[in-house]
């Protein structure tokens, strides 16, 4: 199927389901028609086979499931961003609709009031008053419904925003949230240190025990670092790497605390959940750097120190000095 044809088919699919050709809907249609997502195909086929029309809220829900099932972090981020945008658009439309309803109530009541002012009597007067009371009651019900919808949208938006900043596997801040933390420190001109932590021989854990055990190892390390390094935030930087952002200029202090966290993790007696077989110690290497001229330079220097720690034997914490050789934390 050519790009021109798929484009036309996607638009025809959206039109047939009375869906606006928004970026989210177009990507949904594209992934469905090209059979690129098992989740989207399964969910959409179920709707179609049961003769149900795809609604906008259904698209958001299916795309959320697609994002959760995806192994591509960029795909998850993109879908969440689109969900946030959708919630914002829905909230805006709800606000506009509420205003239209309020304007309509005002006009209706004004018309009935005019009838009364012009001297309506008897049944005409009773009817005008009754219509005012009924319209006010209707407006109150509509306002209550709109208020409930706004509350739901606010909860959905907050949930989407939070998910966009949290690593799904480990439950700690993700790369985007960690970069935002660094950016905030830079804006406030607060001196800080970063520590890049990388699990030693993580590929061997996956190869030997399988990815489910590797995932559990990542969660274990994340929780160990979060507890040991509090109140400094620890984020998942990517793969088996974690990033600590410490609001202190003292790289030696940071390295010592990371060293303590490393030793505590290595001392744990780990066993496989399935067989109770000893798994061996989990260790990590780390590079620490005080903030430099830019955040990118700071991260580069921390990464260089981490590389040196890996190259010289692993299971150690090294500090990146301003100049010269990388310093051992011990």
Same structural domain, 322 and 224: yes
Same structural domain, 322 and 249: yes
Q: Which of 259, 235, 230 is nearest to 247 (CA)?
A: 230
Which residue in 240, 256, 274, 277 is the catalytic one? 240
Phi, psi of 317 (to 5 degrees): -120, 125
Same structural domain, 127 and 157: yes
At 103, is the secondary structure helix, strand, or coil?
helix
| Beta-strand runs (E) in 200-248 | 234-238, 241-246
Confidence bin at 324 (pLDDT 50/70/90): very low
Same structural domain, 273 and 139: no
Is 236 domain-assigned?
yes
Same structural domain, 153 and 46: no
Q: Which of 261, 280, 292 is nearest to 197 (CA)?
A: 261
pLDDT at position 124 over 80: no
Is 234 domain-assigned?
yes
Same structural domain, 228 and 273: yes
Instruction: Please report how many Cα atoms fall inside a 13 Å half-sphere around the Cα of residue 30, on the Cβ side.
Output: 13
Which tens digits make up the pLDDT trace of 138-196? 777 776 766 666 666 666 666 666 667 888 899 999 998 899 999 999 989 999 999 99
Q: Are strands 234-238 and 327-328 parallel, antiparallel or unpaired?
A: unpaired
Which residue would you say has higher pLDDT here, 302 or 137?
A: 302
Last residue of a domain, one of 46, 70, 94: 70
Distance separating alpha carbons of residues 156 and 87, to the nearest angstrom: 7
Last residue of a domain, one of 164, 183, 213: 164
Report the CATH number that the domain containing residue 269 is assigned in CATH.
3.30.70.270
Last residue of a domain, one of 109, 144, 164: 164
Name the helix (H) or strand (E) containing 328. Answer: strand 327-328
Same structural domain, 65 and 95: no
Same structural domain, 239 and 203: yes
pTM: 0.57
Give residues with Cβ within 8 angstroms of 213, minimum separation 6.
Answer: 205, 206, 272, 279
Task: Name the domain count of the chain.
Answer: 3
Which tens digits make up the pLDDT trace of 74-104? 555 665 566 566 666 666 666 676 677 667 7
Same structural domain, 285 and 234: yes
Phi, psi of 20 (to 5 degrees): -70, 145
Which tens digits make up the pLDDT trace of 50-78? 777 788 878 877 887 777 666 555 555 66
First and final CA of the chain: distance in angstroms? 61
Predicted pLDDT of residue 81: 62
Residue 14 DSSP label: H
For the record, the structure tokens of 72 come out as: 């591509």
Same structural domain, 98 and 125: yes
Place of tokens 């310093």: 327
Predicted pLDDT of residue 228: 96
Distance separating alpha carbons of residues 320 and 236, to the nearest angstrom: 21
Residues of the domain holding 181:
175-328
Same structural domain, 156 and 185: no
Same structural domain, 23 and 139: no
**Active site includes 277?**
no
């Amino acid at each position: 199927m050519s790009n021109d044809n798929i484009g036309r088919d996607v638009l025809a699919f959206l039109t047939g389901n009375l869906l606006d050709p928004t970026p989210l809907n177009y990507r949904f249609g594209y992934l469905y028609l090209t059979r690129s997502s098992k989740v989207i195909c399964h969910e959409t086929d179920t709707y179609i086979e049961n003769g149900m029309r795809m609604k906008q809220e259904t698209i958001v829900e299916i795309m959320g499931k697609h994002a959760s099932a995806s192994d591509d972090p960029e795909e998850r981020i993109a879908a969440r961003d689109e969900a946030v945008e959708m919630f914002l658009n829905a909230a805006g439309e709800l606000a506009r609709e509420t205003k239209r309803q309020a304007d309509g109530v005002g006009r209706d009541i004004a018309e009935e009031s005019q009838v009364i002012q012009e001297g309506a009597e008897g049944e005409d007067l009773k009817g005008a008053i009754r219509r005012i009371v009924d319209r006010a009651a209707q407006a109150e019900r509509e306002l209550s419904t709109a208020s409930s919808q706004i509350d739901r949208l606010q909860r959905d938006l907050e949930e989407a925003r939070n998910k966009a900043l949290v690593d799904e596997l480990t439950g700690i801040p993700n790369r985007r949230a960690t970069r935002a933390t660094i950016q905030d420190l830079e804006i406030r001109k607060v001196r800080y240190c970063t520590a890049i932590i990388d699990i030693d021989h993580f590929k061997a854990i996956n190869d030997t025990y399988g990815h489910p055990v590797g995932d559990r190892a990542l969660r274990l390390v994340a929780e160990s670092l979060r507890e040991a390094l509090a109140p400094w935030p620890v984020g998942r930087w990517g793969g088996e790497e974690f990033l600590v952002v410490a609001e202190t200029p003292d790289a030696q202090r940071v390295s010592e605390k990371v060293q303590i966290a490393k030793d505590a993790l290595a001392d744990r007696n780990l066993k496989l959940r399935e067989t109770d077989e000893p798994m061996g110690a989990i260790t990590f290497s780390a590079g620490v750097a005080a903030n430099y001229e830019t955040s990118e330079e700071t991260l580069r220097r921390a990464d260089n120190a981490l590389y040196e720690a890996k190259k010289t034997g692993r299971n150690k914490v090294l500090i990146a000095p301003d100049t010269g050789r990388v310093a051992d934390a011990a």
